[in-house]
Amino acid sequence: MLTVVLLVGLSGAYFVFVLPYLWRDVNVGLPVANIVLFICALGSMLLCMCVEPGIIPRKCVFELGGYIPEEFTADVLVKDMERGAQYKHCPTCKVFRPPNAHHCSTCGNCVEVFDHHCPFLNNCIGKRNYRYFLSFVASAVFEGLSEVAGLFLFLFYDPNNQSSVVDAEIVKWIVVALIISTCLVTLFVTILCCFHVDLCLSGETTKERLKHTHDPKKEKSCFRPYPSWFAPRQMLTLQQVMKAETWRETEARS
């Protein structure tokens, strides 16, 4: 909720007090960029908040469907001991979670390729929504920088500009307050963005970086630190659902 208030509140004030002047008396290029970046940031933020991050259903949920995928049972330890050594049993969800999956104490679920739980977005960041998180952070940085540029243009491009909203002197004090608050927020988001760019370059997650559990033998990639982050979710495939239905029918006949 705080993120929504900051993004919509600061950008809303900028659009009301500054953007009309820039559009009318300076150049339409910067206002158009402001609007496009705001839409990108808002859309990415909503997707990051609403998209399920890659939650592994609990054992009881799988049992309701009549089928537990093999990769979440103890069979995975027998079939692939080398890979299975990285599998861990979650006593809460009662499933064997795959490598890089962790149990989020805040949400109470195991999440595939768990990065962190974001209190500002009130959601876990994991396999399915990490790309939206990166998009949100990057677009928020550029949105903040473009708004700071617009605010300084408002103050110094034409000192005698007038505002049709309220008294010009009051507007200038509002703009000064917006500059301070926007610069602080943009600085914080820029540091966060740089941190996650570094994680992508090293092929780590936030949890691995903080816990110092990253395997240096993993292949590094600038664009795909984990292929599953940028691939469609493959937790319950059509084949698995059909197997569950077949298993259920067999049990019913017996």
The residues annotated with a catalytic role in the active site are 118
Using alpha carbons only, give the angle 97, 53, 200 rounded to the nearest 5 degrees.
90
The DSSP secondary structure of 144-188, one letter per residue, reads: HHHHHHHHHHHHHT-TT---SSS-HHHHHHHHHHHHHHHHHHHHH
What pairs with residue 88 in β-bridges?
Answer: 97
C-alpha 38/C-alpha 145 separation (Å) is 12
C-alpha 70/C-alpha 249 separation (Å) is 19
Which of 49, 206, 198 minimizes the C-alpha distance to 122? 49
Which tokens sit at 22? 């820039």
Angle between helices 168-202 and 130-156 (to 10 degrees): 150
E strands, 41-197, are: 55-56, 88-90, 95-97, 102-104, 109-111, 116-118, 123-125
